[in-house]
Copies of this chain bind each other. A is one copy, B any other.
Amino acid sequence: MSAHPFDTAIALEPQGEGAWQGHTSPAYANMIGPFGGITAAQALNAVLQHPRRLGEPVAYTANFCAPVADGPFLALARPARTNRSTQHWIAELRQGDQTVLTATAVTAVRRETWGATEVPMPRVPGPQDLPPPMRRGRVEWINRYDMRFVEGGYPAAWDGSHAEDSRTQLWMRDEPPRPLDFASLAALSDVFFPRIWRRRATPTPIGTVSMTVYFHAGAAQLRRAGSGHLLGQAHAHGFRDGYFDQTAQLWNEPGELLATTHQVVYYKE
């Protein structure tokens, strides 16, 4: 059986303490360079692979410094601080002598406590009640995800029509299906198409500059997500002078909140 394309894409070959070689994956190619979610997952994987890692990811921030060129990259991760139950990481991806991504992560050993969710999963039709994707995406990475839009799909036409808000709801999972883990959850956090396209139906050049994922899920919630769909909901707060933000939530099919994620995106107008 051949490896899942996601596993192939995030595979890292150890190069000594805290360093790995990775390689961009044609399966996750975007218009220019790779899908940002896969790049973020590659850097997170360096933290996950580190022999000194303590616990599971709680917070992860990736900053996209420059387009990643097709080919190899060096992934670096070092624990900047290790406490009794938390650990702080600094990571980078480099190509040649250039930094293409910077990242920080917090990992922690989690203990059961009182809990609550303030954003119940919206009541929407299930993934089985919605049509699967019908046509191949114009960029390759789109074909690595099964996306079923509930609300706020791609603009039907680039006709410059203005939407009043930027909300999108969709069911999404890896294609082919793959059991959810922290790396794939990080990548799924970046699946939402740019909020400015949703608002303006205009083919505006964009690029995510910084993305943060808060992992509400531990091992139990990941297990209950399995290889099923996640419901994702995203919206923007503001667009101004070349940058907009996006805030999103991801739930597993049983309705548990798995991640909240935020990003700021450059746009050219």
Q: Which of A29-37, A81-89, A181-189 faces chain B?
A: A81-89
Is B241's CB under 8 angstroms from A260's CB?
no
Q: Mark A215-240, 1 if CB is under 8 A from B, else 0.
A: 01010000000000000000111111
With the chains together, A189 CA to B106 CA distance in Å? 20
Whole-angstrom CA separation of A66 from B103 in the bound complex: 19
Instruction: Tell me if B115 and A102 are in contact (CB < 8 A).
Output: no
B65, B90, B119, B245: the one within 8 Å of A102 (CB)? B90
Instruction: Check if B113 sits within 8 Å of A242, measured CB to CB.
Output: yes
Give the size of the chain A interface in residues (CB under 8 angstroms): 61
Mostly, the A contact residues are: strand
Bound Cα distance from A116 to B116, whole angstroms: 33
Closest to A88 in B: B65
- Which of A114, A216, A235 has the most B CB atoms < 10 Å from its CB? A114
Q: List 21 A-B contacts (CB under 8 A).
A: A58-B209, A58-B210, A61-B61, A61-B210, A65-B81, A66-B83, A80-B92, A81-B98, A86-B209, A86-B266, A106-B209, A110-B241, A113-B242, A113-B268, A115-B240, A117-B237, A117-B239, A212-B212, A214-B264, A237-B260, A245-B260
Residues of A in contact with B (beta carbons under 8 Å apart): 58-59, 61, 63, 65-66, 80-81, 83, 86, 88, 90, 92, 98-100, 102-104, 106, 108, 110-119, 165-166, 199-200, 209-210, 212, 214, 216, 218, 235-243, 245, 247, 249, 257, 260, 262, 264, 266-269
